[in-house]
Structure 1
Amino acid sequence: MTNIWLIGQLQSELPLNVLLPTTGDVLRMFFYYHQVEKKTVPESAKLSSDKVMDMWNKARIPTTYLTHVVEKVKSVVDDYKLIKKNKNRQSEAQRAREKEFEEKEHMLFDIAHQHAMQLIRIQEDIEFLEDQRGSRRMQMSGIDKDLTKKEERTEQRKCKEEERKEREQERMTESTSLHLSSSDDSDSEQQDTEDNYEIKIPVYYKKQISEVEDSLSSSASKKTLTVQDMLSSPDVASALDRINLSDRKFTVLAAAIAQASGQDIRDTSLSRSTIHRKRQQHRSTIDSSIRQQFQ
């Protein structure tokens, strides 16, 4: 196997022991991927980080994010390369840096979450992490089969819950689509009904319409319908009653029609009280006319 200055013999896996990996363990695995398997620096750092995190997960200690672990691996590699670059120097500073780095290699490659001590619930795990950061005398216990089964059941419940939510979401989406389709059909049918609907005009109104048509046909030219014409028309008043349009709403409508026809409404008396009074007059006239027809 290949040996590297200050690092030692390369290894493709972390040592099969009951301790968390040291910085030296990580470096030996990194350079195995980088020099033996010819991986790039990012690839080697990623592969090494994955295996380190697996070991920490087995110890059930919360870790930082994978991206942070990868960056930490690269940082340690950069430190090593800087020291190696000056390995031929015999200065005391160089010797001190080499010694410091060798001591660091035997220390924990710490990737614990910054709030790990608050997140860990088992006191024994807290004590194990503290030991690994120091004397490293404690060892990981065997795999807790009961806890593992419990975590597997929890994960299964989470998966089932996610599947249930997905099915519910799909059902709601289908229901919404059907509702929209039904609404479109209903609106279409309603529109068809409105288009085909014909208003039956009473005898009195037919007479009024006939007189108006005769008057229009005998005129040489047609004049623009004014607000006063609308207010004076019993047909308009009757139509307003049939569609149950309030005096206030008709005031707004009449003003809009007048403006669209080019009439200056400032020259016209147009108010809610005026319209109400006119409609009352038309109702009285129409009522009297109908009574006379049936006498």
Structure 2
Amino acid sequence: MEESESQSGENAKGTVRPTSSTTRSATEIYLVGQPASSIRGSKLPTMRQVLKFFFHTVNESGDRQETFKETVRNVLTFWNLARIKTISERGCREKLTRLWEHWRSLQKSRDRAAKDKVENFKSQLDLLWDIGAPDAVEDIEKNRLLTPTDKQQDIAFYQDQRGERKAFMSGNDKIFATKKRKQEERVEKQRSKQGRFAACEPSSSDSRPQTSVVADTPTEVEMEKKDTAIQPGRYTSKHPYVTVQLPRRILQEPALKELADRLRISNNEIVSVVAAVLRSANPPGDLSEFRISRETARRARASHRRQVAAAQREAFTPPPHAVVHWDGKLIK
């Protein structure tokens, strides 16, 4: 008596039907496990979580470089939520590339000599994939939007994640979010004031030759929101540089001349301050592109004072009667 097809697991053509166990083993990643479509949990991601998400995404897209970027953006979401400063996004991609290359080398060399390396790799898979900046703890301590208690909690959480990993991230910090929103509103008001000041300047200033002090602004400025089990970060880290344009004749700017006179800054001091600002750009500004010297500052300030004096004389309305006082010693 022949066994039925359901009992033998074979179809009419004699091929074995794939079961759920065979499908899982076919998709399982060496040493890592099954790929994952998202990074879940309320802790900073481990190396295993990062690799699982990477392999799932690269299998779908087929573009390894884009997958590195996608994975890093998802991981950074957790670090932003924890308010912990990280290395640059480019540095994260390079670190992830090295991790993938290490895994690839272990996959290719499955011999006894590599056994110790494999065991060492497996023991680190469930540890934190640490992309924290070298001054991450310092950055938390200097954050003026956090209370002393919040700072202690953030530092303790980061140290825990690098060790036993018993702590969890809580929900959104409403107090911190309120402070952050107020800070952003103040920045926006300041920008609006600067915009109104620029609109009030004479139109002739538009024809002044301009030069750029280019700052190191990465192309990937904002992190995209991804399908994760938790909400995106409470705030996005601001890049340390911005791109601005400065006039070549910067010492002739009315705002700069007025400030120098109001603060009683000497010509040498104002030139030194401007030069230091230009050199602090990234890359440093070329001072030879600007007209900055003590004599230039002197002429610019003298011209500005004459203009202010002339304007005040024109606006002055003499009274009908006046009393004049003088020193009698000066009269012969």
TM above 0.5, yes or no, is yes
Given candidates 46, 52, 62, the residue that maps to 2:75 is 52
Counterpart Cα distance in 1 of 2:43 and 2:125: 14
Which residue in the other structure is 1:104 paired with?
Answer: 124
Q: Distance in 2 between matches of 1:113 and 1:135?
A: 20
Q: Counterpart in 1 of 2:194?
A: 165
Q: Are 1:128 and 2:151 matched, yes or no?
A: no
Q: Quote how far apart the aligned CAs of 1:164 are.
A: 2.7
Partner Cα separation in structure 2 for residue 34 and residue 173 of structure 1 = 55
Q: Give the total of aligned pairs.
A: 174
Contact 2:47 2:129 in 1 (8 A): yes
List structure 1 runs of 4+ shifted beyond 4 angstroms. Answer: none
**TM-score for the superposition, normalised by structure 1:** 0.55
- Which residue pairs with 1:77 in the alignment? 100
Matching of residues 78-97 of structure 1 within 5 Å: 78-87=101-110, 89=111, 91=112, 93-97=113-117
Aligned to 2:175: 146
Alignment check: 8 A CA contact 2:32 2:51 kept: yes
Determine the structure 1 residue equivalent to 2:28.
3
Deviation at 1:139, TM superposition (A): 1.1
Distance in 2 (CA, whole Å) between partners of 1:29 and 1:13 is 6
The two structures, once aligned, show a CA RMSD in angstroms of: 2.0
Distance 1:158 1:67 in 2: 27
CA–CA separation in structure 1 for the residues paired with 2:195 and 2:65: 36
Q: Decide whether aligned partners of structure 1 residues 114 and 5 sit closer, same or farther in structure 2, where only a CA change above 3 A counts.
A: same
* Paired residue type of 1:63: T
Q: Secondary structure at the match of 2:201?
A: helix
Separation of aligned partners in 2, 1:157 and 1:147: 15
Q: Distance in 1 between matches of 2:167 and 2:154?
A: 10
Q: Structure 2 counterpart of 1:95, which letter?
A: K
The structural deviation recorded for 1:57 is: 0.3
Q: Which one-letter code corresponds to 1:48 in the other structure?
A: T
Tell me which protein shows more helix as a share of its residues.
1
% identical aligned pairs: 30
1:232 corresponding residue in structure 2: none
**Aligned residue in 1 for 2:137:** 117
Pair 1:33-2:57 in alignment:
yes
Q: Distance in 2 between matches of 1:98 and 1:167?
A: 63
What is the TM-score when the length of structure 2 is the normalising length? Answer: 0.49
CA drift of 1:169 comes to: 2.3
Q: Mapping of 1:202-221 within 5 angstroms?
A: none
8 Å CA contact 2:61–2:67 kept in 1: the answer is: no
Assess, with a 3 A threshold, how the Cα gap between structure 1 residues 43 and 177 changes in structure 2: closer, same or farther.
Answer: closer
- 1:137 equivalenced with 2:162 (yes/no): no
What whole-Å deviation, never above 9, does each CA across 1:22-46 have from its counterpart, x for those lacking one? 01111111111111232x2211110
Looking at CA atoms only, which structure, 1 or 2, has the larger radius of gyration?
A: 1
Secondary structure of 1:67's partner?
helix
Matched, 1:23 2:41: no
Which structure is richer in relative contact order (CA contacts within 8 A, separation 6 or more)?
2
Structure 1 residues 147 and 101, CA, compared in 2 at 3 Å: closer, same or farther?
A: same
Listed as ranges, the gaps of 5+ residues in structure 2 are 1-23, 142-150, 208-332
**Letter matched to residue 35 of structure 1:** N
Unpaired segments ≥5 residues, structure 1 = 179-295
C-alpha distance in structure 2 between counterparts of 1:9 and 1:172, whole Å: 63
Q: Tell me, in whole angstroms, the C-alpha distance in 2 between the residues paired with 1:102 and 1:8.
A: 11
Q: 3-state DSSP class of the match of 1:8? A: coil
Structure 1 residue identity aligned to 2:167 = M
**Offset, 1:112:** 0.7
